[in-house]
Amino acid sequence: MAQKIKLSTIAESLGLSTATISLALRDSPLVASDTREKIKEQARALGYIYNRRAASLRTSRSGIIGVVVHDIMNPFYGEILKAIETELDRNRQTFILSNHYDSVEKQRNFIETLLQLGGDGVIMSPAIGTPIEDVRLAETNGMPLILVARSMEGTALPTYRGDDSYGISLATNHLIGLGHKSIAMIGGTDQTSTGRDRYQGYVNALRKAGIEVDPNLRIPGPRSMQGGFEAAVNFLSLPQKPTAAVCWNDLVAIGLMNGIARAGLVVGQDISVTGYDDLEQASIALPALTTVSNQQAEVGRLAARALLDRLAGSHEPDGIHLIKPEMRIRQSTGPHRPR
Amino acid sequence: MAQKIKLSTIAESLGLSTATISLALRDSPLVASDTREKIKEQARALGYIYNRRAASLRTSRSGIIGVVVHDIMNPFYGEILKAIETELDRNRQTFILSNHYDSVEKQRNFIETLLQLGGDGVIMSPAIGTPIEDVRLAETNGMPLILVARSMEGTALPTYRGDDSYGISLATNHLIGLGHKSIAMIGGTDQTSTGRDRYQGYVNALRKAGIEVDPNLRIPGPRSMQGGFEAAVNFLSLPQKPTAAVCWNDLVAIGLMNGIARAGLVVGQDISVTGYDDLEQASIALPALTTVSNQQAEVGRLAARALLDRLAGSHEPDGIHLIKPEMRIRQSTGPHRPR
DNA sequence: TTAAATTATTAAAACAATTTAATTCCGTTT
DNA sequence: AAACGGAATTAAATTGTTTTAATAATTTAA
């Protein structure tokens, strides 16, 4: 409650000017080193708190970086966000996190708020249907933007994400290698670029193996455990009697496995199931889930680095950077047996 | 890239003063309503962006509220954070989210950053071992603080959390009612107030039923699925042969159930297991998990409201507000059978 | 028609830092 | 003793908004 300590408070208490104090606290070589020490000591003693809004008003740099994704509580983003956090922390940037829940409006609000706060940049996993104007809004106001996990058609924005098409084809090939011929694809949407890429990877793998693609084996749905659980009924009653399922992600796969188990079938024997993302839960699930590691940490780290580099002035080429996923084979998949 | 649009840009373009523009944009009755409309229209047309740091420098209100918890990716905080987000959004506050991972240092950094940004308040779930100075740091700099989900001894800070003691006793009583006598408590720590409360609730319920408390039946551990999974081995080899387990939370319970299933026992028949939190996963788990709903949404909402009210000037009494949990009975618990 | 009252607008002083150009203070050199 | 040079310090302008007290414009009342 005592009056606010500001540069001038310190200045007066030491008989110096605010200019000197400011310079000293930022380690400028312009101020003598013993004065600098004296000043720093006094600042500490008085409990001085740096006023970033005053500073950033002058310098037009805020040290704030915004990160907006579909749902931060979704474990899919967990690794990405942690990697981003680590990388930004290391460079002493403050990051503001937000969900857009695929609402374009919520996402725009976030971008606007960030502009109002003078954010230095944004990392976003764009909401479905994001209009280019919203991206421009950020850019014309000098706030660089990096995409992560999802791309946006029609822009040349720097984008970092896993190679979904390749990743799903890994999983599909694994199943084909086990002798499966009727393979369903469960969960997710085809409205995002990720969705189209994943479906493409599935289709490519089947075609390459000479298996004809049956569109009825594509069951889209929510990307949640609940979604997978509910898809089980549809999946099990398909007339094609698939013996394997490639799932959109681990959550869907775990839900689906539970649903299949409820129906009295044994996953890994009667039915093979693959996930995607390699969440912590995948290895603990029962049976342990065969899945694809999306290298999330790498994706997040690279995206953060790209933004930091851009802020530091380096202008490396835009474009999509695809990170190669890796297979994690566990017990939820096994050799084909007709059911 | 065009030059920045500020109040003075609008002012000049309309032949008015910045004072009028400012007043008009904030809907002050001081400015004539047709002038106001003209101004708003022009602001929109020019793509004006409100500069919050300049404004907040003047008003010393930033509209920023910090929220720091152990780990935002942990689903336990999911509902709480969502409720807080909703409530703050409704009052057009920007919220900055952070993890402290129970590092007191990381938590202090967050508080400092928030002070530098001129944060209006903080909602936190204090890190284990948080020193009172850190709380004071916020308060002496005029940033009110509300605790959520965990309390802190030795402070009279407003705190909102579930009634853990009561909640665990609900679960324990449920098991006792099913005839169980040897009931273990799995996971978590006794270093937090939450931990002590939960253990207390367990002890109380047993005592009240005339069952003697065996400290060997308390197996502390990580609050994760992995933790529960690993605890299974210890649990199953206890000489006391417990027939039921009260788990720290749903994640631990699901991990434990998986571990028990791996060992060939049937949860809900051979062994009864209860969780805590009622996460989405609880109802989908196999078997569906009997658990305690902590009313997270209510906890988050009340905490956010309390902060907003405080910022609006109302000074309602400090102290701990306990929210009563509720029982959710499913298939992971069943009548006692000796094993 | 004037005075008084009301309504609209604005000048100017904050807010707390940064930064450039100028100044002061020294000790050297001539 | 004057001139110079370098180091340390500072004056003052700047950043974009808010807000109070003052002024200008308009309406109403007498």
* DSSP code at position A92: T
Q: What is the predicted pLDDT for the residue at B192? A: 80
Q: Which nucleotide is nearest to B9 (CA to C1')?
A: D16
Contact B97 A96 (CB under 8 A): yes
Share of residues in chain B with pLDDT > 90 (%): 85
Q: What is the pLDDT of residues B26-65, one digit of tens each?
A: 999 999 999 999 999 999 999 999 999 999 999 999 999 9
Q: What is the predicted pLDDT for the residue at A316? A: 76
φ and ψ of A37, to 5 deg: -60, -45
pLDDT average, residue stretch A294-323: 92
Contact B280 A1 (CB under 8 A): no
pLDDT for B1 beyond 60: no
**From the CA atom positions of chain B, what is the Rg in Å?**
26
pLDDT for A1 beyond 70: no
Asked if B227 and B187 count as a contact pair (C-beta separation under 8 A), the reply is: yes
CB of A60 nearer than 7 A to strand C: no
Contact A118 B229 (CB under 8 A): no
- pLDDT averaged over every residue in chain A: 94
A94 touches chain B (CB under 8 A): yes
Contacts of A131 (CB under 8 A, 6+ apart): A104
Q: What is the predicted pLDDT for the residue at B190? A: 87
Distance CA A171, CA A253 (A): 13
Asked if A8 and A18 count as a contact pair (C-beta separation under 8 A), the reply is: yes
Task: Return the H-helix or E-strand segment holding A244.
Answer: strand A244-247
Asked if A29 and A61 count as a contact pair (C-beta separation under 8 A), the reply is: no
* Residue extents of the structural domains in chain B: 7-50, 61-162+296-323, 164-294
CB of A15 nearer than 7 A to strand C: no
Q: What is the predicted pLDDT for the residue at B2? A: 60
Distance CA B101, CA B126 (A): 10
Q: Which nucleotide is nearest to B20 (CA to C1')?
A: C9
Task: Look up residue B185 and give its two tokens.
Answer: 């408590």
Q: What is the pLDDT of residues A200-215, one digit of tens each?
A: 999 999 999 999 999 9
Contact A53 B49 (CB under 8 A): no
Distance C10 C1' – B15 CA (angstroms): 12
Q: What is chain A's percent helix, strand, coil content, to nearest 5? A: 45, 15, 40
| Closest residue in chain B to residue A230, using alpha carbons only | B284
A81 touches chain B (CB under 8 A): yes
CATH class, domain A7-50, is: mainly alpha
Rounded to a whole number of angstroms, the distance from the CA of B249 to the nearest CA of chain A is 15
Rounded to a whole number of angstroms, the distance from the CA of A51 to the nearest CA of chain B is 5
* DSSP code at position A188: B
Cβ within 8 Å of B, A 277-306: 280-281, 284-286
3-class DSSP assignment, residue A91: coil
Q: Which of A284, A330, A331 to mutate to test the interface with B (most CBs of B within 10 A)?
A: A284
pLDDT average, residue stretch A180-191: 94
Share of residues in chain A with pLDDT > 70 (%): 99
Fold of B164-294: Rossmann fold (3.40.50)
Q: What is the predicted pLDDT for the residue at A218? A: 96
Task: Look up residue B121 and give its two tokens.
Answer: 């308040």
Where residue A2 falls among pLDDT bands split at 50, 70, 90?
low
Where residue B339 falls among pLDDT bands split at 50, 70, 90?
low
Distance CA A330, CA A325 (A): 16
Q: HEC profile for chain B?
A: CCCCCCHHHHHHHHCCCHHHHHHHHCCCCCCCHHHHHHHHHHHHHHCCCCCHHHHHHHHCCCCEEEEEECCCCCHHHHHHHHHHHHHHHHCCCEEEEEECCCCHHHHHHHHHHHHHCCCCEEEECCCCCCCHHHHHHHHHCCCCEEEECCCCCCCCCCEEEECHHHHHHHHHHHHHHCCCCCEEEECECCCCHHHHHHHHHHHHHHHHCCCCCCHHHEECECCCHHHHHHHHHHHHCCCCCCCEEEECCHHHHHHHHHHHHHCCCCECCCEEEECCECCHHHHHCCCCCEEEECCHHHHHHHHHHHHHHHHCCCCCCCCEEEECCEEECCCCCCCCCCC
Task: Look up residue B263 and give its two tokens.
Answer: 């060992």
Q: What is the pLDDT of residues B280-302, one digit of tens each?
A: 889 878 899 999 999 999 999 99
Q: Does CATH place domain B61-162+296-323 in 3.40.50.2300?
A: yes
CB of A18 nearer than 7 A to strand C: yes
pLDDT for B328 beyond 70: yes
Distance C16 C1' – A46 CA (angstroms): 17
Q: What is the pLDDT of residues A54-70, one digit of tens each?
A: 999 999 999 999 999 99
- What is A131-175 written as a DSSP string? -HHHHHHHHHTT--EEEESS--TT----EEEE-HHHHHHHHHHHH
Whose CB is within 7 A of strand D? Answer: A 15-20, 23, 30-32, 35, 54, 57-58, 60; B 4, 6-8, 18-19, 22-23, 25-26, 30, 48-51, 54-55, 57-59
- Directed axis angle between helix A225-236 and helix A250-262, to 10°? 50
Cβ within 8 Å of B, A 212-271: 224-226, 229, 255, 258, 261-262
Residue with tokens 């708190």: A49
Contact A116 B49 (CB under 8 A): yes
Closest to A184 measured CA to CA, from A140, A259, A123, A235? A235
Share of residues in chain B with pLDDT > 70 (%): 99
Contact B72 A75 (CB under 8 A): no
Distance CA A261, CA A24 (A): 67
Task: Look up residue B123 and give its two tokens.
Answer: 């909602």
pLDDT average, residue stretch A34-47: 96
A85 touches chain B (CB under 8 A): yes
Least confident piece of the model among A81-90, A257-266, B141-150, B215-224: A257-266
pLDDT for B143 beyond 70: yes
pLDDT for B309 beyond 70: yes
Q: Which of B72, B86, B117, B331 to mutate to test the interface with A (most CBs of A within 10 A)?
A: B117
pLDDT average, residue stretch B123-141: 95
pLDDT average, residue stretch B184-202: 91
B132 touches chain A (CB under 8 A): no
Q: What is the predicted pLDDT for the residue at B327? A: 97
Closest to A61 measured CA to CA, from A313, A238, A249, A300? A313
Residue with tokens 């850019």: A139
Cross-strand pairs, A246: A185, A274
pLDDT average, residue stretch B77-85: 94
Q: What is the pLDDT of residues B90-106, one digit of tens each?
A: 999 999 999 999 999 99
Same fold, A60-162+296-325 and A164-294: yes
B47 touches chain A (CB under 8 A): yes
Contacts of A39 (CB under 8 A, 6+ apart): A10, A14, A16, A20, A21, A24, A25, A31
CB of B15 nearer than 7 A to strand C: yes
Distance CA B224, CA B234 (A): 16
Distance D22 C1' – A20 CA (angstroms): 38
| CATH architecture, range A60-162+296-325 | 3-Layer(aba) Sandwich (3.40)
Considering only residues B226 and B292, tell me which one the structure prediction assigns the higher pLDDT: B292
CB of B19 nearer than 7 A to strand C: yes
3-class DSSP assignment, residue A183: strand
B312 touches chain A (CB under 8 A): no
- For the beta carbon of residue A294, count every other beta carbon within 10 angstroms: 27
Residue nearest to nucleotide D20 (CA to C1'): B19
| Closest residue in chain A to residue B256, using alpha carbons only | A284
